Amino acid sequence: MCGIAGCWQRSSPGSAGELEELIHRMTAALVHRGPDDGGVFTQPDLGLALGHRRLSILDLSPLGHQPMTSKSGRFTLVYNGEVYNHEVLRGELESSGSVFRGRSDTETLVEAVDAWGLTATLERCIGMFALGLWDHRERTLTLARDRVGIKPVYFGWSQGTFLFASELKSLRTHPAFSASINRDAVALLMQHNYVPAPHSIYTGIRKLPAGGLVTLRAETPPGGETIEQWWNLRDVIRTAKQNPFIGNRDAAVEAVGALLRDSVRLRMLSDVPLGAFLSGGIDSTTVVAAMQAESTQPVSTFTVGFRETAYDEAPAARQIANHLGTSHTEFYVSPEEALATIPQLPTIFDEPFADSSQIPTLLVCQAARQHVTVCLSGDGGDELFGGYSRYGLMERVYRQNIAWLPAPLRHPLAGILRSTLGQLGGTLARKASTYSRFLDAVDRRTMYARFNTHWKDPLDIVPEARLPETVISATNNWPADGTFLEEMMGIDTASYLPDDILTKVDRTSMRLGLEVRVPLLDHRLLELAWSLPLDYRVNGGVTKWPLRVLASRSVPAELLDRPKQGFGLPIDTWLRGPLRDWAENLLSEERLSREGLFRPQPIREKWQEHLSGRSDWHYYLWD
């Protein structure tokens, strides 16, 4: 796992020495992602530079050094990630006459590109990655990202220079970079609690979407590059549903189990110490059980506990670890220790990111990094197997309160609710406002898109902004058709998963030089899940059915059948207590007015309502 960066200064190439200095500066900002080694490649006549920071996981020798050039000399690669099936790919290449110097997956990848081409190679890869590839013959620079967006890459133009990197902090070191805040992205942040791809907080800088690929040629004008999809979730879901799984529910569980075990086995390949996060939930329990079955030694597992009982998953994780026989470590964190991480968050995330579970995620990564360099996690199970409680809630709301109303009556009724109940104020007015927004939705997808937001009207608080289209707002092009549940699972896989969950895990773990692998997001498992009948995934209202059955073979059912807690902290009470002065300073009317990003009045109103205890606005205020 690593950090990558690059620049293409076409208007003013600079000397070899100047280019090297610039790219070294860019990679120095990524040392936390790759503390073990670093390297650069420059082509001064073109003003091109590629840089890399390495966290050594496979082949710890210098033979894994990047940037790496193929034996033919045609391709130079910088790459962040892991290709878990690289030994199989290497075997295919060796059977065709390729000879390798080392054992790294980087060498396998660059030689595969040389032999088969980039897209054909990516389609064969099982893994997570973001890469930059320079084709010396065609003089093209290509960026690509893995299928579901586990690894990040930002790119864009600034003052005639093309820049890319794993994190925004690297781009900021380049003298051509202009840190102009994108007000539209601020509005999106207020709406979603993250900035959804392809947008970023900076004007002119984009995130490469999951499964995306962009190629830049010498004649490509600034902003003229086109993002293509080498892998498309919508196409994959459609193909899976057109080729449904043949077999009963028990056979489906066995198929999921076999593929999960293979996915876990591949992700346990490492030349450094390896462990797993264990929260006590279904997903992480299933992953750790599969790991323990593959291991002759107790697997190292890690949990962070909190003194606030409502947020403490450590006791459940401890019981599960005992049943699985893992070597379990739990770290209890005081409120003071959790609060102390907050000043680090802007440096870790670079652009505003307001999922408050970023704090416990950082803490569990800190705990694990003291013992291992690689951790497996259970992320992805909710999206693939219908695990979020909001899915059932939204289905009930739509069925019971909206679907039966004739469409022409919904909008007038929404207006009546707002004008009459809204005058009463308080909780009733807020509920009426929420329900009226649902009624105003033209269809169930729009209803879910509106429900799954924080600030409902972000343009009311972000002046001079507009709301650009995202994969969420483009409801006519969601990745999954079919039942409402399938539609919700599909859109969460396309946006919430890469832009929130995987972003949170990547930034917090890589800040500490910890690689996190996600076996439930193996693309083969994703394809299998979408080929299953829906009632094989959610059986009689019981979510994540295959994973529950698999986990119950190793852990008593009573330990698995407990309410989902999530991975949060009591931000609501902290804002009224230990964080009150800090928040008051940031949300003061004088400061909001001076900085000019937000209209103070609606924010001050919610802040006062929250402090009084009349309302809980902590999600809005944390944004």
Residues acting as catalytic residues: 2
Structure token pair of residue 338? 């959790």
Q: Classify 58 as helix, strand or coil.
A: coil
Helices (H), 204-269: 233-242, 249-267
> What amino acid is encoded at 476 in this protein?
N
Instruction: Give me the torsion for CA of 552, 558, 563, 569, rounded to 10°.
Output: -90
Residues 6+ apart with CB under 8 A from 409: none
Q: Quote the CA–CA distance of 527 and 529 in Å, as a whole number.
A: 6
Q: 128-140: buried (b, 16+ CB within 10 Å) or exposed (e) per residue?
A: bbbbbbbbeeeee
First to last CA, the chain: 30
Backbone angles phi, psi at 387, to 5 degrees: -85, -20
Question: What's the 3-state SS for 247-260?
Answer: CCHHHHHHHHHHHH
Of 417, 425, 415, nearest to 605 by C-alpha is 425
> What amino acid is encoded at 136 in this protein?
H
Cβ atoms of 147 and 210 closer than 8 Å: yes
Q: At what angle do helices 523-531 and 249-267 cross, to 10 degrees?
A: 170
The radius of gyration of the chain from alpha carbons, rounded to an integer in Å, stands at 25
> What is the Cβ-side half-sphere exposure of residue 377, based on CA atoms within 13 angstroms?
22
Of 133, 130, 153, nearest to 142 by C-alpha is 133
- Cα 77 to the center of its chain, rounded Å: 24
